[in-house]
Amino acid sequence: MILWIMARRNATILLGSLMARAVVPAGCALVILYFLNHALFGDAGLLTLDDIRARQEVLAAERVALDRRREQLDRHIALLDPRGADPDLADELVRRQLGVVRPDEVIVPLGPPEPTRPR
């Protein structure tokens, strides 16, 4: 009977020391699994990489369209520069804003003006 109790106590001590030694590796494994989960399934993980690239292409196309619009506005602003405003454009804008366009007049919009090049 005493041998059985001592064997059981040794087994409990051995099991306790195994558990104590397994705590640190188990904690490390949990930390690794946490970061691995975020690397695969997170907002910027490997599984969402295709969505990120598709969104990047859409945003690049929007940027190109906005750059074109900005260039058009820059040309329009250059035409309205007080030091050298285009007289036809200024006349058209003033008459339209003041409401002095007669009903029998037709305003023919021309294409976007060519940018002036310095000489």
Quote the pLDDT of residue 119.
53
Is residue 79 within 8 A of residue 85, CB to CB? The reply is: yes
CA-CA distance, 93 to 95, in Å (whole number)? Answer: 6
pLDDT tens per residue, range 36-92: 999 888 888 888 888 989 999 999 999 999 999 999 999 888 877 777 777 777 777
Residue 3 banded pLDDT, cuts 50, 70, 90: low
Spatial CA neighbour of 85 closest among 97, 95, 77: 77
Q: What is the dihedral of CA 26, 30, 36, 42, to 10 degrees?
A: 170
Q: Is the pTM of this model over 0.95?
A: no
Kindly list the domain boundaries of the chain, sorted by start residue. Answer: 1-35, 42-102
Q: Give the whole-number percent of the chain exceeding pLDDT 70.
A: 75
DSSP conformational letter for 84: S
Amino acid in the structure at residue 111: G
